[in-house]
Amino acid sequence: MSVPDKSIDPKLLESAKKEFLANGFEKTSLKAICDGAGVTTGALYKRYESKEDLFSDVVAPVIRDLNGIIDKKSSIGVSALTDKELIDAWNMKNGEMEWWFRFLYERREGFVLLICRAEGTEYSNFQHDWVEKMSANTGAYLEEAVKRGLVASAVSKEELHILLSAFWTTIYEPFIHDFTWEQIEEHCSVVCRFFDWRRALEMKEEKPVKNG
């Protein structure tokens, strides 16, 4: 029994990523991918049923990492958070936002494939779908803040989705426009100043704890 040549797999994935980044999913040909990897189309079809299956495999690590963040945040019981922790969750701190940008920058090629090269795949609406996931998670924090009277006037789910769409657009765009890390650092500072969530939600200050 012949042993499959596993050395072909990373060559295919790297060539596919290069072609998808350059041309987008729809305009990329399997022949170009195979030529770039130095393999035959027969070798490709032994591993993937379609071009979309190959695209999905290329972006799989980024999808896994992004979903890991959602799972981690969703596992936090918001009812167990203190008022201070709930209020701090809405603070736009440069360090926390820089963490997000760094996380995406380290995965920028796969992230770019998802946000602007995926037309024709199951990820065609990734930008909208990601905001939907974040809205569900963020909505739980907002609902708990409202329940505790920390928010003067809560926004609706629809309004929160609109606000988060605008917020995430400011995160997508630097990657779409191929910003350097230095440009992203500057952009991060602007985003932190621009999005004052506590003011937008009319969030109250934490009440000081009285002694005695």
Residue 175 CA, distance from chain mean position: 11
| pLDDT at residue 212 in the model | 41
Residue 211 has pLDDT above 50, yes or no: no
Cα gap 149→204, rounded to integer Å: 8
* Rounded-to-integer distance, Cα 148 and Cα 81, Å: 11
Per residue in 5-40, pLDDT tens?
677 899 999 999 999 999 999 999 999 999 999 999
152-195 per-position pLDDT tens digit: 877 888 999 999 999 999 999 999 999 999 999 999 999 999 99
- Where do the structural domains in the chain lie, given as residue ranges? 1-48, 59-200
pTM: predicted TM-score of the whole model, two decimal places = 0.88
Question: Domain 1-48 sits in which CATH superfamily?
Answer: Homeodomain-like (1.10.10.60)
CA distances from 38 to 24, 119, 174 (A): 21, 26, 33
Strand boundaries in 42-181, DSSP class E? none
